[in-house]
Amino acid sequence: MQENMKMKRNFLIFLILVIVGLSITKIAVTNKITTNGVALQSIQAQIANLDTQNYIIMQQYLAEASLTSLDAKAVKEGFKPNSTDYFVTINQSIASNQ
């Protein structure tokens, strides 16, 4: 009878240790997930910021590379529009059957 009580007590102690161990594991995993969530939010905020900067730079590049902008810069530098048109006439057909 006393051996049966000892066995039940050992089993109860084992169950308590398992429950405490699993609780500690759950807390550690939850803490790790929360930390990863905060890091993920930070990374997503950085990505959004970089996307915004990329869009602004793209718009500035497209504005600077536009023909209107280039023409205005050329006039400002002293270039003048060409007033003479040049034409090249060819008597031979470009694609001839041989």
Lowest mean pLDDT among 6-10, 29-33, 51-55: 29-33
Q: How far apart are the first and last CA of the chain?
A: 115
Residue 97 lies in a domain: no
Q: How confident is the model at residue 30 (pLDDT cuts 50, 70, 90)?
A: confident
Enclosing domain of residue 54: 6-75
Residue 95 lies in a domain: no
Residue 18 lies in a domain: yes
Residue 88 lies in a domain: no
Our count of domains for the chain comes to 1
Residue 84 lies in a domain: no
Lowest mean pLDDT among 5-9, 11-15, 19-23: 5-9
Q: How confident is the model at residue 95 (pLDDT cuts 50, 70, 90)?
A: low
DSSP letters along the chain, please?
-HHHHHHHHHHHHHHHHHHHHHHHHHHHHHHHHHHHHHHHHHHHHHHHHHHHHHHHHHHHHHHHHSHHHHHHHHHHHT------------SS-SS---
pLDDT digits (tens, 9 = 90+) for 43-84: 999 999 999 999 999 999 999 888 888 888 888 888 887 777
Residue 96 lies in a domain: no
Residue 98 has pLDDT above 60, yes or no: no
